[in-house]
Structure 1
């Protein structure tokens, strides 16, 4: 199902490379004239992390034997030059270690020469097949000068130092004055594609598991690496001789995929995983890609808004809630039918994690777009909580949710399986994971900070519990007589009373954790202290606070304060605290006196 969805995405997209080709970044171009003379180096870098992309013949699959790409590759293949050719930095003082280091560098230089020879042979093969092609003739003459002369010419270029800092990146060639690079030459591309057809003509044919049609099968699938994985990591791969083979089949023949289908799904996945992709987000070690089954308005809007939701990090400057408001507006339009959808319009999300030589699928879901919109709106509804912060920031995105329960807000430190559990809860409208809730309570107690996101998480978790008969509201609910909620309201009242009297809130630092777990042990003392705090207030304020305290205490059962709150009521304590504090600060924002 995953491969079929990726295959369909390739065929519904208009911007992906045609079969046999792919978009690749090139850091530098070697500009030569038609006689093969070096002219200059051309910098194709956009910034330190990205370069200009070109439509090139698809990269070859490599194992231990050197295999060259068509007129483009890394510096080891193109120039016989790598880090091993640079002066040794910080050589070991120990002679034995120094000798071992030099031996390793010698082996790498020998490997570079093999790679370089392979690349030169590929150039000669292309030149022999297309003798009248001017770019290939120039490339043939360029390599005919010898490696030493080539490197000597390049080292005089002002950009040579920059090239030496990017030796692992890909480079290629361009004829001086030409608008396209040599790998983009029409004759070169056509010859390459024709040779692919001939090469695969004698391949084993079988029914493709993706398309259901007969066709030549691939022996090795294309690598689609993610952050943290090996460069050769693949979605479909079988290790030979390690127990993965069955019925005498080896490699990709264990899962028969036609050449055309393999190209389609790997190209689609590579496109979704590209830099700055708006169909991808990362949480800790997990990489998630998502897409709609249709390229219509509803599909594109759903993709754009889901990207915004997953990546909300509270970094807006002019209007911090703009992203949230727009996401909610679009999903309401989809769910209400204002943006039209078809019954078979679906949304997909795929979660991947590094796993040795392969990619591990940690999450996969297919859901109708309308149901998807409904589930997102339910998430927004569950996470909605009164916000009395001066600077309101988004708090409903996955990034904000996970950072709220992580030490020092570092999302990379959350439990490994927590991100997909949270995404699954949002995507499929399931109860939020208990691990998210318990981590939230731990962070509140450890840091003494009841942030907006943490309170929203507690409310969302509790409201999705099947045994919760009195749902928590967005704002203060005076009819809620749950013992945890009531204790939270009372604690907020006593804290605010202290702050109005002395300008401090020390009872929160000293008693918050105890009050939220063992109320009977602390509230008697806190109520006695509040009597002394009232002495600093005027008579109307004293009457107000006494009236409010009695009103809240009357909601408790006859037994009084409980000796212990269960784990769910501990969460309700913090929500009640937040709601009551919001009432106090709402009056302050309006410059109203606290006295009613």
Structure 2
């Protein structure tokens, strides 16, 4: 299913003349340097294709003959490769091996001697002083020092030699004589079998050389008498299409990829659709410009709220693939398929679950990256638990409860970190965790959490959170400008083992109230404490402080505390009329 969907995506892009996706036998590759020669093979220049992009140089991208699958063996690319292969310049490799690599590079070209452009390259490579001649050009030092990918260009021609018409004909017409054809498991057509699939590059955590999602490299994984790709026959055409599609989605300039914890996610639609670009704003993090990102998330929310995707009459399919590194291979972390309308509905529910009251200085909607950072140690992206982001993503797309580990992380960080920077996003997550859990299964008939203060919520955790926020506010009014409050010292114990601290806090409250000179303010707080603690006609009182709170009730405590604080901030107490 995954490979077929990627093949379909390749076919869709191949039919779009503006997509720039590579045709079979070719691939996109950045070549920082080109050796410019004349028709006789004489060196003319070393051309640097790099241009400044932001603060870094970026090499020009070319459509080059498809690279060879190589690990430890010697397998030269056709008319382009690194400096060691192309001109035999010894860099990181041993001199003897570099000589073998360069010899193999020339021998591959000699198979097509008689093609004018290739003959010119062979003439240059035959020059015994070619390395000394190259050193006369300033750009060559950078090329040699970095073992960069290089190729050749004939003087006066706009493109490298591999874009010569006769050379392109060679690449487009490979010699298939004597190739054994087998049925491809994906397409069902007869095709040459792919022994080693092209590496997938761009998945975070994998080697620079990439990894494979289809591979067999130890006997226990192989069927009897079969090796490598023969265990799951995939035709060369299918293998090229799916690997090219996936590498395109993972490319440097792709807007259809994002990091999700330790996983890398790509997504695409069954046909061209604006949702492909809009979807990225849900998660993607941009430390350089977080405000722009937040605006993009808000725009996505508004589009969904306005029903922009509800009228997708053709039920366009949307695919989401999450991948993570696994040694030299790539493992599939998650795979989700649905219509764009279904995806939009799931995201709308997600936004609704996150909605919570906040101050004027923060935005309504935050990308998931900003939310997850709030539950990570030291507020660092690299400290987000590896599997957490992928599990959360699955929950969002499937409209499922969030993993218990997310609630646990949010509650734990609330006890340790009282930074106002993370209080709001953490409250959003805790509210969403609890509401999604209750929506699926609610044996205790818990009421869902509101966006703002809910005076009718009788949950013990929620009421204790409100009580703690009120006691803190009393302390602050009694000691204007105080640097540390009961939040700093007692929040962890109050939210998990209330009986150990609330008795002392209630006695301390009496001392604080006695210091407040404004009696209207004192009366207001006493009324509020009575509302929270004591029994009324429609709700029970707090008869005793519990010894322990469950994880869910600790989450309720956090929301009760947050709601009550926001209620204090949202309206100034009219002390003159209390």
TM-score (norm 1): 0.88
The 8 Å contact of residues 313 and 394 in structure 1, kept in 2 or not, is answered as: no
The 8 Å contact of residues 30 and 42 in structure 1, kept in 2 or not, is answered as: yes
* Equivalent residue number for residue 213 of structure 1: 189
Distance 2:549 2:166 in 1: 77
Cα distance change on mapping 1:174 and 1:594 into 2, 3 Å: farther
The 8 Å contact of residues 284 and 413 in structure 1, kept in 2 or not, is answered as: no
* Equivalent residue number for residue 88 of structure 1: none
Cα distance change on mapping 1:564 and 1:529 into 2, 3 Å: same
Q: Which runs of 5+ in 1 are unaligned?
A: 85-104
Give 1:423 deviation, angstroms: 0.8
Distance 1:594 1:481 in 2: 30
Does 2:324 match 1:348? no
Aligned-residue RMSD, C-alpha: 2.2
Q: Which runs of 5+ in 2 are unaligned?
A: none
Match of 1:420 among 362, 383, 390: 390
Match of 1:114 among 72, 92, 100: 100
* Equivalent residue number for residue 369 of structure 1: 340
The 8 Å contact of residues 238 and 244 in structure 1, kept in 2 or not, is answered as: yes
Cα distance change on mapping 1:214 and 1:120 into 2, 3 Å: closer
Distance 1:127 1:365 in 2: 50
Match of 1:326 among 287, 291, 299: 299
Give 1:9 deviation, angstroms: 0.4
Distance 2:40 2:499 in 1: 92
The 8 Å contact of residues 320 and 393 in structure 1, kept in 2 or not, is answered as: no
Cα distance change on mapping 1:113 and 1:336 into 2, 3 Å: closer
The 8 Å contact of residues 258 and 283 in structure 2, kept in 1 or not, is answered as: yes
Distance 1:65 1:565 in 2: 61
Give 1:336 deviation, angstroms: 6.2
Distance 1:335 1:319 in 2: 21
Does 2:131 match 1:155? no
Give 1:536 deviation, angstroms: 2.5
The equivalences for 1:9-88 within 5 A come to 9-13=9-13, 14=16, 15=19, 16-47=21-52, 48=56, 50-84=58-92
Q: Bigger CA drift: 434-443 or 464-473?
A: 464-473
* Equivalent residue number for residue 238 of structure 1: 216
* 1:140-175 CA-partner distances (Å, limit 9, x unpaired): 2211212xx1111111211233223421x3111111
Distance 1:515 1:382 in 2: 26
The equivalences for 1:545-564 within 5 A come to 545-554=525-534, 557=541, 559-564=543-548
The 8 Å contact of residues 395 and 453 in structure 1, kept in 2 or not, is answered as: no
Give 1:246 deviation, angstroms: 1.1
The 8 Å contact of residues 383 and 460 in structure 1, kept in 2 or not, is answered as: yes
* Equivalent residue number for residue 304 of structure 1: 277
The 8 Å contact of residues 194 and 229 in structure 2, kept in 1 or not, is answered as: yes
* Equivalent residue number for residue 154 of structure 2: 175
Distance 1:546 1:433 in 2: 40
Cα distance change on mapping 1:52 and 1:423 into 2, 3 Å: same
* 1:172-206 CA-partner distances (Å, limit 9, x unpaired): 11112211111111110111221x2x23x432222
Distance 1:46 1:592 in 2: 63
Give 1:473 deviation, angstroms: 0.7
* 1:269-322 CA-partner distances (Å, limit 9, x unpaired): 110111132111123432111111111xxx3x2221221111145754666742
* Equivalent residue number for residue 568 of structure 2: 584
Does 2:110 match 1:124? yes
Distance 1:42 1:229 in 2: 31
SS at match of 1:248: coil
Cα distance change on mapping 1:323 and 1:175 into 2, 3 Å: same
Q: Number of paired residues?
A: 554
The equivalences for 1:514-533 within 5 A come to 514-533=493-512
The 8 Å contact of residues 237 and 251 in structure 1, kept in 2 or not, is answered as: yes
Distance 2:500 2:71 in 1: 68
* 1:487-533 CA-partner distances (Å, limit 9, x unpaired): 11111111112212212252111211121122233223222222222
The 8 Å contact of residues 278 and 300 in structure 2, kept in 1 or not, is answered as: yes
Distance 1:553 1:406 in 2: 34
Q: Bigger CA drift: 523-532 or 74-83?
A: 523-532
Give 1:213 deviation, angstroms: 1.9
Distance 2:365 2:501 in 1: 32
Distance 2:131 2:277 in 1: 47
TM-score (norm 2): 0.91
* 1:352-379 CA-partner distances (Å, limit 9, x unpaired): 1222222111211111221111111111
Give 1:37 deviation, angstroms: 1.6
Distance 2:210 2:544 in 1: 65
Q: Bigger CA drift: 476-485 or 318-327?
A: 318-327
Distance 1:52 1:221 in 2: 26
